[in-house]
Structure 1
């Protein structure tokens, strides 16, 4: 969940306000936002977050105000045809399906409680997965939610078979950075969204769709990697203990630049299932310090640069120190996709390509 929307929802509950939460649940064709994007609309028309801007967002906002008036959640198909979008200087031509949920005093207590539990789990870094029923045979079931957090389950989708399927799916989805759609027929078998037998659709959302990239080492490869990763949409943090390297002048696109001892930084840095870690320090000693600190963390990706001989030596050292070999197999090394990269910029491209590939769940750790 976007930080702004998170804090907006907290404000809604803390101040007993009313709001409508818009979530993009599915898209068809060219659209400005993808599933999971959210926008919060208040009764005075103020908004937090975005579902793409322009005329499409204005239409979504209007429907959200209607939901605030009726106190009834609903789904809405937003047709962003090219001729309409062109009026705003955009050519989209796609369709976004929106789930628009009423949040306020007219919610049943259990719904308000679920939202509060979810926000609390996010705040405590419990990596909750949120499942929302967006289509069902019984209209009254639409909008029901289930929260899966550290093997705990809160909520009810109105059917035990649905609960069981989502729980099983949620366990294997841990670490995903993108929302996913579950489509089921009347017998609870998986099916395509276009299937005539489609009876249920559920949206599974990870704790956040903002992927965090932690770059350990601020050398020549780190500069283009930080720049390109930011363009792709990562939240970038760069760490190094050398002031001449770790500074905002060299990394003016990074979200955060930390100049401090690697070990000290990693003692308190929050690494979660949406964190990608790239170790590209200036030497074996610093690589070892960083890898020792991060290898047991629930990162989505841990990669380290270095020759096979150098990496193998480091792995042996850590195994002798008691780090289990199965844990060390999480390491991606040699780092990056094989594209014949030579320059720092090309190496940064091959590293970023591997991050994207892992993010889309198309590969496995490749430690040799």
Structure 2
């Protein structure tokens, strides 16, 4: 059971979906859940059990609340008293006749970043290289065959922006935590931007370039029917303002910015 729960959790994390896990870590008296029992869930499913009945309902409720509010990995330990009159500083009473106590560890697992580099030039290669020590995943899309493959990429897409986007939808794009528009041709980046916004991509979206470039892109997007609220969620220019100039420096600035987002830090 434990192996299947962990396998399911890892599969969900690979799809850029957070997971909440509960584990029974200690018990006393007569209780439904045994030590080591696990339950995992997210908005796409639930597997395992911590004992069923009122205990499980309470655990599921707390896990869902934690997952809904989580902006970074977190956890807590809760002791449940399985009788109506359970008391104690750290005991949560349950309307149960089982008796005994169950201590449950609850934790939120957040997926590691998976960055889609749309444009496989110098900056993309530097960002890809920086992903290695962090154990982050990256994928590449480029209309030029020689730039559509970077060593270590999880996915490589040699296609024009239109063809790539036509093969995707809101759900499939959700596998990417971040999408960075790094194209050699501003027209391609503009096409990517509009396509992603109309597709409803909900992850972090960033565009390399100047403020004047973003002003032009914004005007085109607004004319096309994109709302200002949606545009305000796009980050341009990308990267922390550290005076970065070379591709390697830009990569450091971009990676640092993504780390802040992953850790739930507002810059």
TM surpasses 0.5: yes
Secondary structure of the structure 1 residue equivalent to 2:237: coil
The reply to whether residue 259 of structure 1 matches residue 158 of structure 2 is yes
CA contact (8 A) 1:134 1:200 kept: yes
User: TM-score with structure 1 length normalisation?
Assistant: 0.55
Structure 1 residue 153 displacement after superposition:
6.6
Change (3 A) 1:302 1:203: same
The reply to whether residue 233 of structure 1 matches residue 123 of structure 2 is no
Partner of 1:166: 63
Partner of 1:91: none
In 1: Cα distance, 2:75 partner to 2:64 partner: 14
Partner of 2:21: 131
User: TM-score with structure 2 length normalisation?
Assistant: 0.73
CA contact (8 A) 1:237 1:254 kept: yes
Change (3 A) 1:127 1:342: closer
CA contact (8 A) 1:230 1:236 kept: no
Partner of 1:205: 109
Partner of 2:97: none
CA contact (8 A) 1:126 1:149 kept: no
Moved more, 136-145 or 333-342: 136-145
CA contact (8 A) 1:217 1:240 kept: yes
CA contact (8 A) 1:215 1:222 kept: yes
Partner of 2:42: 148
Structure 1 residue 336 displacement after superposition:
0.5
In 2: Cα distance, 1:294 partner to 1:218 partner: 18
Extract structure 1 runs of 4+ deviating beyond 4 A.
Answer: 136-139, 152-157
Change (3 A) 1:264 1:163: same
What aligned pairs does 1:67-216 form with structure 2 within 5 A after superposition?
Answer: 122=12, 127=17, 129-135=19-25, 140=33, 142=35, 143-149=37-43, 158-173=55-70, 179-184=73-78, 186-187=90-91, 200-206=104-110, 209-216=111-118
Structure 2 unpaired stretches of 5+: 80-89, 93-101
Structure 1 residue 350 displacement after superposition:
0.7
Structure 1 unpaired stretches of 5+: 1-18, 22-102, 104-114, 189-197
Secondary structure of the structure 2 residue equivalent to 1:221: helix
Tell me the alpha carbon deviations over residues 54-75 of structure 1, each in whole angstroms, 9 at most, x when there is no partner: xxxxxxxxxxxxxxxxxxxxxx
Count of residues paired in the alignment: 234
Change (3 A) 1:356 1:218: same
In 2: Cα distance, 1:333 partner to 1:227 partner: 22
1:352 equivalent among 245, 255, 263: 255
In 2: Cα distance, 1:141 partner to 1:297 partner: 42
Structure 1 residue 341 displacement after superposition:
0.7
Q: Which has the higher contact order (CA 8 A, sep 6+)?
A: 2
Structure 1 residue 255 displacement after superposition:
3.4
2:185 equivalent among 271, 278, 283: 283
The reply to whether residue 336 of structure 1 matches residue 239 of structure 2 is yes
Tell me the alpha carbon deviations over residues 11-33 of structure 1, each in whole angstroms, 9 at most, x when there is no partner: xxxxxxxx763xxxxxxxxxxxx
CA contact (8 A) 1:213 1:237 kept: yes
CA contact (8 A) 1:135 1:202 kept: no
In 2: Cα distance, 1:146 partner to 1:246 partner: 37
